[in-house]
Amino acid sequence: MSNPIRQALAAGLLLLAGGLAACSPVTVAQRALEDRSVADIREDNRIVVAVNKLMAKYETVSVSTEIYEQHLLIYGILETESAYEGFRNDVGKIEGIERLYWHVEQMSEAEREAREDEMLGFAQGLKVKALIEKDWLQAEGVESLNFRVAVDPFAAAYILGRAKSQMEMERAIAVVRNTEGVRRVRNYAAVR
């Protein structure tokens, strides 16, 4: 990727990290420039739309998703056991999901309040994610468009996507591990 494109994407991510943008500008660029087929991206989008319908059904305001090549990550918090079980069961019925990474916790409002000191707020999680994406853009030997990252309320960072070599994978993971605010890293990316 050319340096001006990297600079433009990095500038957009800095805006997000500063709280000046509502959604990550790298997402739009990824869809246009990433190293995947249109059919593959379309299938990911179909799955996400199906999950979003379920999120509306179960009113999952504290749950989020990331997807790459039909590998779906769902993370966050659901308050009731019935919402947790219903949402989990219905997600399992969506066709086309090759792999599901389920990192949703069931916690009551009282439990969340008791653990408030160890949790990130929504804005803090977005800021950490934006910092990782910005650093991937600037990292030598990391093709950031082939990676996705999510940060959950407990400051765990999840990596999806693919690296073209083991060295690229190690560099991408190192960026995440060295990002301020990340407490734990789970790597679901593959070398291909």
pLDDT in tens, 133-158: 999 999 999 988 899 999 999 999 99
Q: Which H or E run contains 173?
A: helix 166-177
Q: Please give the model's pTM, rounded to 2 decimal places.
A: 0.81
What pLDDT shows up at residue 151? 97
- Per-residue pLDDT tens digits for 26-67: 454 455 556 688 899 999 999 999 999 999 999 888 999 999
Q: Is the dihedral of CA 9, 15, 18, 21 positive or negative?
A: negative
Domain with CATH 3.30.1340 in the chain: 38-117
Does the domain spanning 3-33+121-191 belong to CATH 1.10.287?
yes
Both tokens of 133, joined, read 């994406």
Average pLDDT over all residues of the chain: 86
- Strand-strand pairing, 71-78 and 63-68: antiparallel
Q: Which CATH architecture describes the domain 38-117?
A: 2-Layer Sandwich (3.30)
pLDDT above 70 for 4? no
Residues of the chain with CATH 1.10.287: 3-33+121-191
The pLDDT of residue 19 is 38
Question: Comparing C-alpha atoms, which of 152, 112, 104 is closest to residue 128?
Answer: 152
